[in-house]
Amino acid sequence: MSRITDLFTQPTLINYINNRTFPTLLGETLFPATKIQSLKLQYLRAGSNVPVIAPIAAFDTEAQIGSREAAIQEAELGYIKRKMQLKEEDLIALNNPRTVQEEQYLKQQVYNDVDNLVAGVNARVELMRMQALSTGKVTASEDNPTTVVDYQVPLEHQVKPAKVWTDEASDPIQDMQDWISTMNIAPTRALTSNKVQTALLRHKGIAQYFKTAGMIPTIGNLNALLQQFGLPTLVTYDQQYREQQADGTYKKQRYFPEDAFVMFGPDTLGNTVYGPTPEENRYLSGGTQDSNIGNVFVTIYESNLDPIGTWEKAAATALPSFADADNVLQVSGLLAATKDDKQEAGGTGN
């Protein structure tokens, strides 16, 4: 065994990840994590919770036979992975540290790489959760998006406003009331962006409500106002991730679309389902009894002899289930397109 794989054994890496606390992403609270031992996800769609009325029947006649609307859907978990190379200079330094302090420093650099790789896998899983919540679909392949799974959110629950909320002629309160009237539940929460929330605070019609009620236009008072109208409480989500481009540069992207608005009830929406990875399967096939493997599998391995190739890698198989897909309402196009948006959509011609 080489020194690098001796320093970072698989049990050591598993123990490190299990004891490492990563920032909690919003999607983790809406789609709690669970793990299965399969690459196929079967999940139950809750269906409508509006009761189907039982008919009145004459005595001595057969009762109407009901049918179950809840349906099992199946999808394949997405295989997510990313790796970084330990350069030959780093390997030499790790194999021949001059002091204990230098060895600890070099080892910490490796663990920093591991943290970054795991955070990258977590970011992809969060993006899938937010895609499901905001569009009803999970897509992959950034260069040519393809649908991985369609959760079949009812078309009447995927809407656009008659007028963007940055238009003073729009009526956000009426819009929300109209949308809720199409839902099977009374939503208690709404997820949107800070930009949409700001548009509501600055909206002329809502400002008039504040004035009439003698309220200061604050976020807290906005939610209080919405609740008076029987509307859900707003939560904003503007967290971003970075995507590495083909030329090595990075581009910031949002998990949740800036012009989106999603209403839903108080319950969890589904689960984030994790499964086994090929890397985990190979490790377990070696006869190990390790039962502490988490949702993301991290490994350090050697591949090439010339040049020496030593790699740090994080992998997971994951996909959100979305049992409550029938009970969300997804709104898009709430903001007027900016000049930059129009250029990106149409291209610059260069």
Q: What angle do CA 79, 81, 87 make, to 5 degrees?
A: 160
**pLDDT greater than 90 at residue 72:** no
Going by C-alpha positions, the residue among 326, 324, 327, 328 that lies closest to residue 271 is 324
**pLDDT greater than 90 at residue 334:** yes
% of the chain beyond a pLDDT of 90: 59
Predicted confidence band of residue 337 (pLDDT cuts 50, 70, 90): confident
Tens of pLDDT along 124-135?
999 999 999 999
**pLDDT greater than 80 at residue 43:** no
- DSSP notation for 14-32: HHHHHHPPPPPPHHHHHS-
More confident residue, 186 or 5: 186
Predicted confidence band of residue 5 (pLDDT cuts 50, 70, 90): confident
Predicted confidence band of residue 61 (pLDDT cuts 50, 70, 90): low
Q: Which of 38-42, 276-280, 295-299 has the lowest mean pLDDT?
A: 38-42
Strands (E) located in the chain: 33-35, 40-45, 71-76, 78-86, 137-140, 146-150, 158-159, 189-192, 233-236, 240-244, 250-254, 261-264, 272-275, 297-305, 308-320, 329-331
With residue 127 as reference, give the H or E element that holds it.
helix 100-135
Average pLDDT of the residues of the chain: 86
What class, spelled out in words, does domain 3-19+26-46+71-346 have in CATH? alpha beta
Going by C-alpha positions, the residue among 138, 167, 169 that lies closest to residue 152 is 138
**pLDDT greater than 60 at residue 331:** yes
**pLDDT greater than 50 at residue 1:** no
- Average of per-residue pLDDT across 226-252: 93
Q: What angle do CA 30, 32, 37 make, to 5 degrees?
A: 145
- Decide if 60 contacts 84 (C-beta within 8 A): no
**Alpha carbon distance 75, 128 (integer Å):** 13
pTM value is 0.86
Predicted confidence band of residue 42 (pLDDT cuts 50, 70, 90): confident
**Alpha carbon distance 141, 124 (integer Å):** 12
